[in-house]
């Protein structure tokens, strides 16, 4: 981040632990939580990356305090203890950024030109949860002609094949982009007419991420480090819980399964899918 403030001085960076439904407006929906909002504003002095870095590092204690969480008794998901917003900009750019820097006590206006929504949810949750808790609030925060780009894991790849070698019934990516978009249209109701929804074919919507390996790493005898890297990537993407991993790790069966998948496919890759929603001009 310090380098970015040198390369792009007229920038404002905002970080928050607010929920997706709250974050576009930088304000909790609950009145009591809004009153307890922890607003941290950092105006960086100087013009060097080193100096900016030192000033940001001095904020560590405030970050630790502001980003404490507790587990939800209902879902186990992390919930913030204290809602926090951190606003960072260069002091020598304050004047020209005056209309951009959000003000404490004023709910944000939304009106975003671009919202990137990358892997924002647990893959296994249903389309209704994904839409009501995450996608719909972010789409509603778009400015006229603004665009929201959403990326999620799609499966149908060697990474999922590896996971299913250990857990044959595992199907974490059951909700595809078409179902999400259909649910979003239903959630928006009559307001859906104000938006354009992408309907791209798989050729345009699918993205492939390949695990980098050296040419000689996928050979008759694959190194342990490569096997570990491939296995860790597969269980991370599939969001396998720790308590399910422990007996598998103890048995060691995952190593052979990983080697089989790497040999079969000459490597490992993962499929993602992307879709866009844009707000019409008027």
Query: pLDDT band at residue 196, thresholds of 50, 70 and 90?
Result: very high
Q: State the chain's mean pLDDT as an integer.
A: 93
pLDDT beyond 70 at 220: no
Domain boundaries along the sequence of the chain: 1-109, 112-282
- Contact, 21 vs 29, CB < 8 A? yes
**Which residues, 6 or more positions from 44, have their beta carbon under 8 angstroms from its beta carbon?**
5, 51, 52, 55, 56, 88, 89, 90, 91
Task: With cut-offs at 50, 70 and 90, classify the pLDDT of residue 107.
Answer: low
pTM score, two decimals? 0.87
Residue 121's pLDDT band, with cuts at 50, 70 and 90, is very high
Of all residues in the chain, the percent with pLDDT exceeding 70 is: 99
């Amino acid at each position: 981040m310090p380098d970015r403030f040198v390369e792009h001085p007229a920038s404002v960076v905002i970080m928050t632990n607010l929920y997706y439904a709250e974050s576009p407006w930088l304000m909790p929906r609950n009145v009591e939580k809004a009153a307890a909002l922890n607003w941290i504003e950092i105006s960086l002095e100087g013009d060097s990356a080193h100096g900016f870095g030192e000033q940001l590092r001095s904020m560590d204690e405030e970050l630790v305090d502001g980003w404490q969480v507790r587990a939800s008794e209902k879902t186990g998901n992390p919930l913030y203890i204290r809602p926090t917003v951190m606003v960072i900009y260069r002091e020598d750019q304050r004047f020209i950024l005056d209309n951009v820097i959000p003000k404490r006590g004023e709910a944000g206006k939304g009106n975003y030109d671009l919202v990137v929504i990358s892997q924002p949810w647990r893959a296994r949750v249903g389309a209704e949860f994904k839409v009501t808790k995450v996608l719909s609030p972010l789409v509603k925060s778009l400015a006229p002609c603004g665009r929201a780009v959403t990326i999620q894991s799609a499966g149908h790849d060697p990474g999922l094949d590896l996971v299913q070698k250990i857990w044959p019934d595992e199907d974490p990516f059951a909700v595809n982009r078409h179902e999400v978009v259909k649910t979003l249209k239903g959630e928006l109701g009559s307001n859906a007419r104000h938006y354009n929804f992408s309907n791209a074919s798989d050729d345009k919507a699918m993205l492939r991420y390949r695990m980098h390996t050296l040419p000689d790493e996928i050979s008759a005898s694959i190194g342990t480090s490569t096997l570990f890297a491939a296995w860790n990537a597969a269980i991370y993407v599939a969001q396998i819980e720790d308590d399910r991993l422990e007996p598998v790790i103890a048995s060691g069966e995952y190593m052979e399964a990983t080697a089989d998948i790497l040999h079969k496919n000459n490597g490992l890759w993962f499929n993602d899918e992307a879709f866009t929603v844009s707000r019409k001009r008027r």
